[in-house]
Amino acid sequence: MDARTRISESSAVERLAALDAALFSDPAAAADRLGWIGLPGKAVAQAPALAALAASMRSTITDVVLLGMGGSSLAPLVLAQVIGPASGSPLLHVVDTTSPVEVSRLLGELWPASTLVVVSSKSGVTVEPLSLAGVFREWMRPHLAEQTGSHFVALTDPGSPLEAYASRNGFAAVFPTPADVGGRYAALSPFAMVPAAIIGIDTARVAASALAVEGACRLEDEENPGAALGAWLADAYTAGRDKVTIVCSEQLAPFGLWVEQLVAESTGKGGCGLLPVLESAPGDPRAHGSDRMTYILRGPGDASLESLRSRLPADEPVLETTIDDVHDLGGEFVRWEWAVALFCALNGIEPFGQPNVDEAKAATTAILSGEMPVPEPQLQQGGLALTAHMDSMPEPAALSIPLVLSGLLEGAGSGDYLAVLAYLPYDERLLGPLRDACATIAAARKIAVTFELGPRYLHSTGQYHKGGPGSGRFLMITERDASGPAIPEQPFDLATLHRAQAAGDFVTLAAHHRPVVRVDLPQGDADALDLLAANLRHAAG
């Protein structure tokens, strides 16, 4: 029986529209996480007030800094990068990293008196935005003194610790976020709509697109866009294709980051799930094996992806979507939310929790407190240090980075994947050679290769890495960060937090018996990164 028939016979669309938590494998977990249904209508209603808020800030604010992770940051990042700020409106800087290099660079570029900081956390206890809020407060204080708090606003659930923090520190406003909406389903909530409106994006148009698609997703017919996408995912998954390749027009490429989190964090549990694989347009069919399906999103007037379907393997499932207006991303947010929820319902997966994300957070906390030791390097060579957890390791006397990398890849067979986890600044001069090496490996080995930036991925694909199928192999790349900036009221600085997050994930991956190799480099050493990329290309065979 195909998935579309199963959706119809189980009345899944009707039940989801009615907020029926019993549709899912864990009704108790789903009961207070279905508030995303109906958000588009609320976003339409709130749009005029948000537009007025934006207008009130335009004369004094030139830059908006959003401190958030995962569901609190990815949707506004997509809207800001795809639609962009309106003329005369502030620029949005999304800080979803604890890299001291990246944060220090941004602090050096901004002026406190014209900067607004948005602290975004559903739970109000997420370590990254709260730590960064302290860093930015200390940066502003010498310039703004008692007015510092007036340059901060918070987005959080009512009653959260962040709400209390905002009150103590005199924040200009706290925007309540819906308690019954999980972060990755919150694209039409204030988490995205408030920062988007502040930079002049017409949130009314985004929300109107979302409302129209939600109306279609509520209907039990063949044209239902959410059910059609969910059924396509489910049928391919049943056929053994558990890697969903996302290829977007260059202008729409950031949308893939949001889909990546939604799919990986919702489905990657209990040894099951879909791995999102982001490919740059025009895609790379050489890398596709029998475990792939491909979703293509084409933007207005873009012809670069017209031939991709014909270049992919003839039997690979392909679904194409074209949008005529970038504001129609609102509808794509909704379409994917419904599709992933229906996919999970069909496959007995609870879509709203993220237990292994919390596991990695706990390991980071234990490392910061000294309760958990950081694994010692097994090799130090020049300025490089290597730590590995693999079933088969070379003899200590023969240990070398090229040999270990080759061993990591040699173990990858059909259906496996490699995740490269880079705790590096968002600097394409450093990242470019690594991205190229990933493409080389994917094409040579015909396996899916994902390139993830840490700690961003901890709130995204990190759930799938530990909770999904045990088919992953992991290469972690870190730098020995310089100290700082200091985090007020904490015994550690940002560099220490950044490294602890990498170490915590290494320990968690190893505890789940995932093959993982960590290569630690001197900070900002482009030559060392180039050498590592060359070793990866060589290991590809």
Architecture of the domain defined by 355-539? 3-Layer(aba) Sandwich (3.40)
Question: Where would I find the beta strands (DSSP E) of 82-203?
Answer: 91-95, 115-120, 152-156, 173-176
From the number of C-beta atoms within 10 Å of its C-beta (0-12, 13-18, 19+), residue 25 rates as middle
User: Would you say the CATH fold of 39-207 matches that of 3-22+222-347?
Assistant: yes
Instruction: Give the domain ranges of the chain.
Output: 3-22+222-347, 39-207, 355-539
> Which residue do the tokens 């990398």 mark?
405
Q: How far is the C-alpha of 306 from the C-alpha of 260, rounded, in Å?
A: 23
Residue 296 DSSP class: E
Domain 39-207 CATH class label: alpha beta
Q: Is 320 helix (H, G, I), strand (E, B) or coil?
A: strand
234-293 pLDDT tens trace: 999 999 999 999 999 999 999 999 999 999 999 999 999 999 999 998 888 999 999 999
Per-residue pLDDT for 398 more than 80? Answer: no
pLDDT, residue 524, reads 82
- What pTM value is reported for the model? 0.97
The H or E element spanning position 291 is: none
Q: How far is the C-alpha of 242 from the C-alpha of 222, rounded, in Å?
A: 24
Average pLDDT over all residues of the chain: 95
Task: Flag the least confident range among 10-24, 119-133, 257-271, 369-383.
Answer: 369-383
Q: How far is the C-alpha of 377 from the C-alpha of 192, rounded, in Å?
A: 41
pLDDT: is 398 or 6 the higher one?
6
Cα–Cα separations (whole angstroms), residue 299 to 215, 307, 408, 429? 23, 15, 38, 27
Per-residue pLDDT for 395 more than 90? Answer: no
Q: Which amino acid is at 113?
A: A
Which band of pLDDT confidence, cut at 50, 70 and 90, is reported for residue 483? confident
83: which 2 tokens?
């639609």
Question: Where would I find the beta strands (DSSP E) of 435-533?
Answer: 448-453, 472-480, 516-522
Q: Is the distance from CB of 169 to CB of 137 less than 8 angstroms?
A: yes
**Average pLDDT estimate for 104-133:** 97
31-81 pLDDT tens trace: 999 999 999 999 999 999 999 999 999 889 999 999 999 999 999 999 999
Q: How far is the C-alpha of 104 from the C-alpha of 11, rounded, in Å?
A: 52
Fold topology of 3-22+222-347: Rossmann fold (3.40.50)
Q: Which amino acid is at 232?
A: W
Which band of pLDDT confidence, cut at 50, 70 and 90, is reported for residue 413? confident
**DSSP string covering 455-478, please?**
TGGGGTTHHHHHHS-S-EEEEEEE
Which band of pLDDT confidence, cut at 50, 70 and 90, is reported for residue 431? very high
27: which 2 tokens?
């009704």
Q: Which amino acid is at 173?
A: A
pLDDT, residue 132, reads 98
Q: Is the distance from CB of 472 to CB of 514 less than 8 angstroms?
A: yes
